[in-house]
């Protein structure tokens, strides 16, 4: 059948439109927001109060029991008092969860960063960020820069130490799984094997009873122990950070958690707006400078 040129052009155009429509209908569609790349979906996945948490509408936060000062107050993480309790609630608010939407859970220190699926959304318990631990869990951005310190009873040989070398002949102790214990083995390298304890309370008892010459803990904990718990002890000194970068505490999340980027974003925002500095000053400002052991 003969078609005039103008009619033929119209027919071809119509056919082209139909083919394009069919092609679009069969083309792969963009992934939904749950499976899209993080960079393209971060804003939606971090929607205020609507994160993919363990319990819908709730934020489950874990820490060890007992909860020590100055990180927590009166052994009650849920009261909002103490540096880490205050930070936890500040992060929660940043994520869109008020205090009533926060659920606290007790998880032993070592279990928090051990391999395996977690029962919490994030854990806050003076856990230092490390390459080794990152193999088993995710970490948020650091919320506190920390140094390790040595405590000894006043008047003892250990209390007179002014260098790392002077610590080598001593019997030292620390809590299992901590950076404090790592500093003993990797920095001090004492002649005697370090005493290892399941809790800081046990390490403090060992110091008071003369079972060890000194113990190593993080600096704020050292100030609290010597001012309120073992008042006949003193801080011998603190260690310099190793490897150039400061040691930092980070919030612990399940490996590959969908919340990691959101929680890190919340911590970054709190650092940027001065909240972390303000809370540090409020809860940890009792600490005075301790001499650096070299």
What DSSP string runs through 232-261?
A: TEEEEEEEPPSSSSPEEEEEEEETT-TTHH
- Candidates 1, 3, 293, 2; CA nearest to 148 is 293
Phi-psi category of 178—alpha, beta or left, where left has phi over 0 and alpha has psi -120 to 50?
beta
Neighbours of 11 (CB within 10 A): 11
The helix-helix angle for 83-95 and 275-284 (nearest 10°) equals 160
pTM for the structure as a whole: 0.78
> Given this chain, do its domains 42-146+246-288 and 148-239 carry the same CATH topology?
yes
Task: Flag residues of the chain having pLDDT under 70.
Answer: 1-44, 243-244, 286-289
Class of 148-239 in CATH: alpha beta
User: What pLDDT was estimated at residue 245?
Assistant: 78
The helix-helix angle for 260-272 and 38-45 (nearest 10°) equals 70
Given a contact cutoff of 8 angstroms between Cβ atoms, the answer to whether 38 and 261 are in contact is: yes
Given a contact cutoff of 8 angstroms between Cβ atoms, the answer to whether 140 and 271 are in contact is: no
* 95 HSE (CA, 13 A, CB side): 32
pLDDT digits (tens, 9 = 90+) for 47-105: 999 999 999 999 999 999 999 999 999 999 999 999 999 999 999 999 999 999 999 99
User: What pLDDT was estimated at residue 18?
Assistant: 39
- Give the list of residues 6+ apart from residue 69 with CB closer than 8 angstroms, or none: 82, 224, 228
Q: Structural domain boundaries of the chain?
A: 42-146+246-288, 148-239
CATH topology of domain 42-146+246-288: D-Maltodextrin-Binding Protein; domain 2 (3.40.190)
User: What pLDDT was estimated at residue 37?
Assistant: 32
User: What pLDDT was estimated at residue 38?
Assistant: 38
């Amino acid at each position: 059948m003969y078609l005039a040129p103008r009619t033929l052009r119209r027919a071809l155009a119509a056919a082209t439109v139909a083919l394009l429509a069919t092609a679009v209908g069969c083309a792969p569609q963009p992934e939904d927001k749950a499976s899209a790349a993080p960079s393209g979906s971060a804003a939606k996945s971090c929607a205020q109060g609507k994160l993919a948490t363990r319990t819908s509408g709730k934020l489950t936060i874990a820490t060890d029991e007992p909860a020590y000062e100055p990180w927590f107050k009166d052994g009650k993480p849920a009261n909002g008092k103490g540096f880490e309790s205050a930070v936890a609630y500040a992060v929660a608010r940043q994520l869109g969860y008020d205090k009533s939407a926060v659920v606290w859970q007790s998880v032993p220190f070592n279990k928090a960063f051990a391999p395996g699926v977690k029962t919490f959304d994030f854990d806050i318990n003076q856990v230092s960020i490390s390459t080794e631990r990152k193999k088993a869990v995710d970490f948020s951005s650091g919320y506190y820069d920390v140094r390790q310190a040595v405590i000894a009873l006043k008047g003892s040989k250990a209390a007179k130490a002014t260098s790392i070398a002077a610590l080598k002949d001593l019997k030292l102790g620390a809590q299992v799984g901590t950076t404090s214990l790592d500093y003993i083995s990797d920095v001090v390298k004492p002649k005697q094997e370090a005493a290892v304890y399941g809790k800081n309370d046990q390490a403090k008892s060992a110091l008071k009873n003369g079972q060890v010459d000194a113990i190593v803990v993080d600096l704020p904990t050292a100030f609290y122990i010597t001012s309120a718990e073992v008042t006949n002890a003193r801080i011998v000194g603190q260690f310099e950070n190793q490897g150039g970068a400061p040691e930092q505490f980070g919030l612990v999340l399940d490996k590959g958690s969908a919340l990691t980027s959101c929680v890190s974003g919340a911590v970054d925002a709190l650092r940027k707006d001065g909240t972390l500095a303000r809370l540090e000053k409020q809860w940890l400002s009792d600490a005075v400078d301790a001499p650096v052991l070299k």
